[in-house]
């Protein structure tokens, strides 16, 4: 079956939902959200803890409540969505203008479904790194789960993955699951972190570990896995500054469950089928300030673009993508403003967007590569300094938003520079 | 005393101390970015409070579990009892966000309320 839709949104999590609402509010009425799960809401459905929405809704919500607010907004507007539907491939056929993108889906009702659209929004989110990504030696027993999978089992399916738990990785999901498993009666023995610091939020160290009397071992990792059918234990060891295990520091920890919270990877297989230009640092597409990828009319937002620390930023970013897609649908001319690149330097690991057109004021989002103390972000156009923004501290886990004001935009234009550089100067 | 504020992702580093002002004992809080930090540190010094979130089995619904939270913070030392009570209750579909699943949970004066909608299984 072939259908024509102006905007197709791939993924009905927080990014896709916000993008849909924004596209609708910009005037677009032909929108379809395609979701592979049975329900809309994405990963927020299983993030049952609170702490979401303080920025966006100005109140503290749990993940499912945050999702429900956006689902309600989608439903109030009568925006169409299909669930249980998997997108297999994205295609770009410039000769088929204006419906020059094809979203190939498998639907339980329609079988193979081809959605032809003017604009597509990539909002597929991210995936967890798993044991295979770590290359941890040892046997291959049952009992090794990614933290997010365990979260789904416990919170949505009502199944406990195990009872004696070691957690590797102290990112927020690992910390949240340490408390969750403890609250469900498990013996959570420890959280190990290979780095000298936790990438999780300070509040989660407090409420998920310190409150629960769960020890956190820094500079420590799992070096061996034991057990034939079911996991019986792991060997943990301290690591040196090059993250190599230090001989003699190994110790055996009995456990039947190992949860891995060792990073997230934007899920871009579909983006790649389309041939969008990728950013090797973020693992997501390269985008302009409207969140448009290198393929005209294809936008990306949320964790598929770069992994976010808080969902409120995802909503904000996705609104930009949704509005832009709606505007794109009504555009008739081919003219595209000239763009200049935004480069990361110093402690700045990456920026989003990676290129900007200078048509309107925009914000640069960035992250540092390691924890640093006080300093300032400096945006330069060529040799000229456009702005300086101070920070008290910067950590890899927290994204910074740096708005470029109208007056600063004029400065950039006047400089005639072909490239912007965002760097750090430490105090 | 020093605390890490857990109210929002900012995680302010708070310092709280008891002072006597005009013969009245008072708690002074510094390091907070917003007034919620004062409330948090004061409670940490007197009686620590937490919001409890969990999920309950649900019958007749389109999914197996309904997520839930206490509608306000409860004393930290009542968390185990709240969780125990929650584990004994099975909700019934349909459920709407905000529906009370357990009234006055564990005698805290707070209700355990649903945080998602559950439709009746088709």
At B7-32, the pLDDT tens digits run: 888 889 999 999 988 888 889 999 99
The whole-angstrom distance between B25's CA and the closest CA on chain A is: 27
- Pairwise CA distance, residues A332 & A375, whole Å: 46
Q: What angle do CA A102, A108, A110 make, to 5 degrees?
A: 55
Q: Does B4 touch chain A (CB under 8 A)?
A: yes
Chain A residues in contact with chain B using a Cβ-Cβ cutoff of 8 Å: 38-39, 45, 48-51, 54, 60-65, 67-68, 154-158, 183-184, 201-203, 205-207, 211, 309-310, 398
Give residue-wise pLDDT tens across range B86-103: 999 999 999 999 999 999
Q: Report the run of H or E that residue A372 belongs to, with start and end.
A: none
B-chain residues near A65 (CB < 8 A): 97, 115-116
The whole-angstrom distance between B19's CA and the closest CA on chain A is: 25
B-chain residues near A61 (CB < 8 A): 115
Q: Spell out a b/e string for A297-320, using b for 16 or more CB atoms within 10 Å of the CB, else e.
A: bbbbbbbbbbbbbbbbbbbbbbbb
**Predicted structure pTM score:** 0.94
Mutation to test the A interface, candidates B3, B9, B44, B94, most A Cβ within 10 Å: B9
Q: Spell out a b/e string for A39-64, using b for 16 or more CB atoms within 10 Å of the CB, else e.
A: bbbbbbbbbbbbbbbbebeeebbbbb
Mutation to test the B interface, candidates A75, A83, A158, A395, most B Cβ within 10 Å: A158
- Pairwise CA distance, residues A267 & A124, whole Å: 6
- What is the predicted pLDDT for the residue at A334? 66
- What is the predicted pLDDT for the residue at B23? 87
- The closest CB to that of B115, out of A62, A205, A211, belongs to A62
Q: pLDDT 10s per residue in chain A (427 long)?
A: 999 999 999 999 999 999 999 999 999 999 999 999 999 999 999 999 998 998 999 999 999 999 999 999 999 999 999 999 999 999 999 999 999 999 999 998 889 999 999 999 999 999 999 998 898 999 999 999 999 999 999 999 999 999 999 999 999 999 999 999 999 999 999 999 999 999 888 899 999 999 999 999 999 999 999 999 999 999 999 999 999 999 999 999 999 999 999 999 999 999 998 999 999 999 999 999 999 999 999 999 999 999 998 899 999 999 999 999 999 999 877 667 789 999 999 999 999 999 999 999 999 999 999 999 999 999 999 999 999 999 998 988 889 999 999 999 999 999 999 999 999 999 8
Phi/psi for A334 (5° steps) reads: -95, -5
- Pairwise CA distance, residues A347 & A97, whole Å: 43
- Pairwise CA distance, residues A67 & A18, whole Å: 10
Mutation to test the B interface, candidates A41, A49, A57, most B Cβ within 10 Å: A49
- The closest CB to that of B11, out of A68, A201, A211, belongs to A201
Interface touch A203/B4, C-beta < 8 Å:
yes
The whole-angstrom distance between A384's CA and the closest CA on chain B is: 32
Q: What value of ipTM does the predicted structure carry?
A: 0.94
- What is the predicted pLDDT for the residue at A251? 97
- What is the predicted pLDDT for the residue at A395? 87
- Pairwise CA distance, residues A22 & A39, whole Å: 20
Asked if A49 and A151 count as a contact pair (C-beta separation under 8 A), the reply is no
- Pairwise CA distance, residues A273 & A342, whole Å: 25
């Amino acid at each position: 079956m072939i259908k024509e839709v102006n905007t197709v949104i791939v993924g009905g999590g927080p990014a896709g939902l916000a993008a849909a609402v924004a596209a609708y509010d910009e005037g677009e009425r032909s929108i379809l959200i395609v979701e592979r799960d049975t329900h809309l809401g994405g990963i927020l459905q299983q993030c049952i803890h609170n702490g979401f929405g303080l920025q966006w809704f100005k109140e503290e919500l749990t993940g499912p409540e945050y999702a429900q607010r956006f689902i309600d907004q989608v439903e109030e507007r009568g925006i169409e969505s299909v669930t249980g539907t998997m997108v297999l491939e994205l295609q770009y056929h410039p000769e088929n203008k204006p419906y020059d993108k094809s979203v190939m889906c498998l639907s339980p009702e329609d079988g193979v479904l081809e959605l032809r659209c003017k604009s597509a929004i990539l909002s597929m989110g991210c995936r967890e790194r798993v044991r295979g990504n770590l290359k941890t030696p040892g046997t291959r027993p049952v009992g090794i789960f990614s933290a997010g999978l365990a979260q789904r089992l416990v919170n949505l399916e009502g199944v406990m993955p195990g009872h004696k738990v070691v957690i590797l990785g102290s990112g927020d999901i690992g910390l949240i699951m340490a408390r969750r498993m403890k609250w469900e009666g498990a013996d959570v023995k420890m959280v190990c972190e290979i780095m000298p610091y936790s990438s999780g939020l300070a509040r989660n160290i407090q409420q998920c570990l310190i409150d629960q009397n769960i020890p956190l071992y820094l500079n420590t990792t799992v070096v061996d896995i034991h057990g034939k059918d079911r996991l019986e234990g792991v060997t943990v060891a301290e690591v040196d500054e090059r993250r190599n295990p230090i001989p003699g520091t190994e110790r055996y920890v009995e456990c039947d469950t190992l949860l891995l919270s060792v990073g997230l990877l934007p899920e871009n297989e579909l983006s790649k089928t389309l041939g969008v230009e990728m950013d090797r640092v973020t693992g997501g597409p390269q985008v302009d300030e409207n969140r448009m990828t290198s393929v005209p009319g294809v936008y990306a937002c949320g964790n598929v673009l770069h992994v976010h620390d808080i969902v409120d930023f995802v909503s904000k970013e996705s609104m930009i993508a949704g509005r832009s897609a709606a505007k794109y649908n009504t555009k008739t001319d081919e003219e595209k403003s000239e763009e200049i690149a935004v480069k990361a330097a110093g402690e700045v690991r990456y920026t989003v967007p990676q290129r900007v057109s200078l048509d309107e004021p925009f914000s640069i989002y960035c992250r540092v590569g390691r924890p640093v103390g006080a300093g300032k972000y400096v945006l330069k156009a060529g040799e000229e300094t456009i702005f300086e923004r101070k920070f008290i501290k910067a950590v890899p886990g927290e994204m910074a938003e740096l708005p470029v004001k109208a007056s600063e935009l004029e400065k950039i234009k006047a400089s005639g520079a072909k490239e912007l550089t965002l760097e750090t100067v430490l105090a | 005393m020093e605390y890490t504020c857990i109210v929002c992702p900012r995680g302010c580093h708070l310092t709280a101390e008891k002072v006597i002002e005009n013969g009245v004992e008072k708690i002074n809080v510094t390091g907070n970015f917003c007034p919620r930090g004062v409330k948090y540190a004061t409670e940490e010094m007197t009686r620590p409070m937490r919001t409890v979130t969990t999920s309950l089995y649900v019958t007749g619904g389109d999914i197996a579990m309904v997520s839930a939270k206490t509608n306000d913070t409860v004393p930290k030392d009542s968390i185990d009892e709240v969780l125990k009570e929650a584990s004994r209750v099975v909700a019934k579909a349909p459920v709407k966000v905000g529906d009370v699943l357990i009234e006055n949970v564990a005698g805290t004066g707070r209700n355990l309320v649903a945080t998602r909608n559950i439709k009746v299984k088709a």
